[in-house]
Amino acid sequence: MTALRRHRALTRIWASEPGWKGWFTTVNHTDLGRMFLTVAIFFFIVGGILAMLIRAQLASPRSAFIGPEHYNQIFTMHGTIMMFLFAIPLFEGLAVYLLPKMLGTRDLAFPRLTAYGFWCYVFGGSMMIFALLAGIAPDSGWFMYPPLSSTIGAPGINSDFWLIGITFVEISAISAAVEITVTILRYRAAGMRLSKMPIFAWYALVTAVMILTGFPPLILGSILLELERAFGMPFFQVADGGDALLWQHLFWLFGHPEVYIIFLPAAGAISTILPVMAGTRLMGYGWIVAAAVSLGVLSFGLWVHHMFTTGIPHMGLAFFSAASTLVAVPTAVQIFAWIGTLRQGRPTTRLPMLWLLAFFATFVIGGLTGVMVAIVPFDWQAHDTYFIVAHLHYVLIGGFVFPMLAALYYWMPHFAGRTTYFKLGPTAFWLIVPGFHGTFLLLHWAGLLGMRRRIDTYDAGQGWELINLIASVSSFVMAIGFALVLIDVVVNVTVAVRGARDPWKAGTLEWAMPTPPTAYNFASIPEVTSREPLYDAPDLPVQIARGEGYLGDCTRARRETLSVDVATGEPRYITVFPGNTALPVLMSAVTGLFFLGMLIKAYWLIPLSALGVIACALVWVWSLGRKESEGLLPAGRGMSLLTAAEVSDPPGWWGSIFLLLANGTFFGSLLFGYAFLWTIAPNWPPPAYVEAGSWILLPIFGGATLSLAGARLKSIGGTVLTVTGLAALAFSCTFLISRAPDPTAHAYDATLWVLMGYALLHHLVALLMMALLVARMLAGHPAATTSGALRIVRLWSDYAVAVTLVTTAAAMLPGMLT
Amino acid sequence: MHPAGSAAKVIATLWWVLLGGATAIFLFVAGLIAWAWYGPSGERDERGFVIGLGLVFPLIVLAALLTYGLVVGERLLPRAGPDVVRVQAEARQWAWRFGYDDAPERETENVLHIPAGRPVDVAITTADVIHAFWVPRLAGKLDAVPGRVNVLRIEADTPGRYEGLGSEFNGPGYRDHRFSVIAHDAASWDRFLQGDAP
Of B14, B45, B173, the CB nearest to A378: B14
Range of the domain at A516: 509-645
- Using the 3D structure, point to which of A585, A618, A645 is the last residue of a domain: A645
| Probe site for chain A from B23, B33, B79 (most A CB atoms < 10 A) | B33
The residues in B 86-115 lying below 8 A from A, measured between CB atoms, are: 93
B46 and B89 fall within a common domain? no
SS3 content of chain A, % helix, strand, coil (to 5): 70, 5, 25
B113 and B28 fall within a common domain? no
Range of the domain at B104: 85-193
A628 and A704 fall within a common domain? no
Tell me, what's the pLDDT at A421? Answer: 64
- Using the 3D structure, point to which of B55, B75, B95 is the last residue of a domain: B75
Phi-psi sector, A696: left (phi>0), alpha (psi -120 to 50), beta: alpha
**A-B interface: how many C-beta pairs under 8 angstroms?**
229
A557 and A625 fall within a common domain? yes
CB contact under 8 A, B22 and A372: yes
B98 and B183 fall within a common domain? yes
Alpha-carbon span B102 to B93, nearest angstrom: 27
Q: Is B38 on the interface with A (CB under 8 A)?
A: no
Helix (H) or strand (E) run with residue A365 in it: helix A351-374
- Using the 3D structure, point to which of B22, B46, B75 is the last residue of a domain: B75
- A285 assigned to some structural domain: no
Tell me, what's the pLDDT at B163? Answer: 92
Give the pairing of strands B120-126 and B85-92.
Answer: parallel
Q: Which is nearest to A485 in space by CA: A562, A531, A553, A423?
A: A423
Tell me, what's the pLDDT at A777? Answer: 83
A636 and A693 fall within a common domain? no
pLDDT one-digit tens code per residue, A623-675: 887 777 888 999 989 999 999 988 889 999 999 999 999 999 999 999 999 99
Give, in order, the Cα–Cα distances in Å from B191 to each of A338, B83, B102, B162: 66, 18, 12, 20
- Using the 3D structure, point to which of A581, A616, A645 is the last residue of a domain: A645
B63 and B113 fall within a common domain? no
pLDDT one-digit tens code per residue, A748-777: 999 999 999 999 999 999 999 999 988 888
B62 and B91 fall within a common domain? no
pLDDT one-digit tens code per residue, A697-746: 999 999 999 999 999 887 788 889 999 999 999 999 999 999 988 999 99
Q: Which residue in chain A is spatially nearest to B17 when comparing CA positions?
A: A372
B26 and B57 fall within a common domain? yes
CA distance B41 to chain A (A): 5
A641 and A513 fall within a common domain? yes
B98 and B185 fall within a common domain? yes
B21 and B62 fall within a common domain? yes
Q: Which residues of A touch B25 (CB under 8 A)?
A: 364, 368
Of B36, B172, B173, the CB nearest to A339: B36
Q: Which residues of B touch A140 (CB under 8 A)?
A: 169, 171
> Alpha helix locations (H) across A496-604?
533-536, 540-545, 583-599
- A748 assigned to some structural domain: yes
Sheet bearing B160-166, strands edge to edge: B111-115, B178-184, B160-166, B131-134, B142-144
Give the pairing of strands B131-134 and A559-564.
Answer: unpaired
B182 and B92 fall within a common domain? yes
| pTM for this prediction | 0.95
- Looking at the 3D structure of chain B, how many domains does it have? 2
The DSSP secondary-structure symbol of B40 reads -
First to last CA, chain B: 28
- Using the 3D structure, point to which of B49, B75, B101 is the last residue of a domain: B75
Alpha-carbon span A152 to A141, nearest angstrom: 15
Q: Is A384 on the interface with B (CB under 8 A)?
A: yes
Which ipTM did the prediction report? 0.94
CA distance B112 to chain A (A): 19
A626 and A709 fall within a common domain? no
Alpha-carbon span A54 to A388, nearest angstrom: 16
B166 and B188 fall within a common domain? yes
CB contact under 8 A, A448 and B15: yes
CB contact under 8 A, B26 and A365: yes
- A152 assigned to some structural domain: no
The CATH number for B103's domain is: 2.60.40.420
Q: Is A473 on the interface with B (CB under 8 A)?
A: no
B115 and B144 fall within a common domain? yes
- Looking at the 3D structure of chain A, how many domains does it have? 2
CB contact under 8 A, A332 and B170: no
Q: Which residue in chain A is spatially nearest to B133 when comparing CA positions?
A: A309
Over chain A (818 residues), what is each successive 10-residue block's mean pLDDT? 90 92 95 96 97 95 89 95 96 96 96 96 96 94 92 90 96 95 96 96 97 96 96 94 94 93 96 95 94 93 85 81 87 94 91 95 94 88 94 96 96 85 85 97 93 91 92 96 93 80 91 91 94 93 93 90 95 94 96 96 95 94 81 91 90 96 97 95 90 90 95 86 96 94 94 97 95 86 76 94 96 85
